[in-house]
Amino acid sequence: MLVVAVGIGTPRISAVLARRAPPKAFAADVPHGSERYRRTMRAHANCVENLAIFAVLVLVARAISLESTAFELLAVTVLPARIAQTVIHVASGSNRAIMVRFWFFSVQFACFAAMAVILVTS
């Protein structure tokens, strides 16, 4: 929510209120804004893409009344990894930042895979 409100909403609203851009000036298929703004847009898209995977895993676990400490630990690990990936994504586009960001993505992906294995084997 902070990514949307602060990173995307604030620049858009301030541009519209200052009459630097009309409300319809923010088409998703046209690059606009600063490099950081564009990284924020991509970070937001990444959050939305991964949320669906996480939600399905957690909802299935709930639906089958899964009681697994390992599953819960993996689920709790996803959030800080997601936050770290997003913060790094917004903060920098350097090669080093991209590599660190990828590491945090890999942590999430590994958690999702392990969570799926736990569900399938339960």
What are the pLDDT digits (tens) for 65-93? 999 999 999 999 999 999 999 999 999 99
Q: Looking up tokens 């959050």, which residue turns up?
A: 47
pLDDT tens across 22-51, in order? Answer: 888 877 777 778 888 888 888 888 888 889
* Residue 30 falls inside a structural domain: no
Q: Kindly state whether residue 113 falls inside one of the protein's structural domains.
A: yes
1 within some domain: no
Residue 9 resides in a domain: no
Interatomic CA distance for residues 110 and 113, integer angstroms: 5
pLDDT value of residue 119: 97
Which domain range does residue 95 map to?
37-121
Domain membership of residue 92 (yes or no) is yes
- Asked if 73 and 111 touch (Cβ cutoff 8 Å), the reply is no
- Residue reference for tokens 């996480």: 54
Cα Rg, the chain, nearest whole Å: 18
Cα–chain-centroid distance for residue 56?
16
Judge whether residue 53 has pLDDT over 90. yes
In a domain, 18, yes or no: no
Band of residue 116 on the pLDDT scale cut at 50, 70, 90:
very high
What is the Cα–Cα distance from 23 to 4, expressed in whole angstroms?
16
Q: Is residue 8's pLDDT more than 80?
A: no
Rounded mean pLDDT, 89-118:
96
Q: Is residue 98 part of a domain?
A: yes
Spatial distance between the Cα atoms of 46 and 96, rounded to a whole number of angstroms: 19
